[in-house]
Amino acid sequence: MENNNNITLKVENENIGSVQIADDVVAMIAALASSEVEGVSAMTGNITNELMSKVAMKKLTKGVRVALVDNSVTVNLSIVLEYGYSIPETCKKVQEKVKNSVENMTGLTVEDVNIRIASVNMPKGK
């Protein structure tokens, strides 16, 4: 029952069955969590929260890649920050928020949350 597009979670009682979560679901959780952190302008190639309900999930997860090895997830994010925010502090908040959100919602262990700063959003007139 192996599928390259799914992360398979085992239920404690194997007689009940298994739970599968699509990679895109984990990526969406990570994208939403990172967008909630103050100082994060957008995901690279992403959309704003107001438009999320109007477009496909694929656009939401642009700039997010997840990889699973032995029920441990590595999340790679490419984000745009707002000008004036501390890069180290903002990235630490994003890492903590993404790790907590993915672990709480999926039961998987997040090993790494790697962040690539793609750009800094400058205020108009600067």
Please check whether residue 1 lies inside any domain of the structure: no
Q: Could you tell me the CATH number of the domain that includes residue 109?
A: 3.30.70.1350
DSSP track, 39-108? TEEEETT---GGGGGGS-HHHHTTTEEEEEETTEEEEEEEEEEETTS-HHHHHHHHHHHHHHHHHHHH--
Q: What integer pLDDT is reported at residue 115 of this predicted model?
A: 96
List pLDDT tens digits, range 21-45: 888 888 999 999 999 999 998 877 5
Please check whether residue 93 lies inside any domain of the structure: yes
pTM: 0.78
Please check whether residue 65 lies inside any domain of the structure: yes
**Token pair listed for 41:** 């302008």
Residue 26 sits at the vertex; the CA angle it makes with 3 and 15, to the nearest 5 degrees, is 55
Element (H, E) at 74: strand 72-82
Residue 114: which domain range? 23-121
Q: What integer pLDDT is reported at residue 2 of this predicted model?
A: 43
List pLDDT tens digits, range 52-72: 444 444 556 678 999 988 778
Please check whether residue 75 lies inside any domain of the structure: yes
Whether the per-residue pLDDT at 47 is higher than 50: the answer is no
Please check whether residue 30 lies inside any domain of the structure: yes
Q: How many domains does the chain have?
A: 1
Please check whether residue 13 lies inside any domain of the structure: no
List pLDDT tens digits, range 77-114: 999 999 999 999 999 999 999 999 999 999 899 999 99
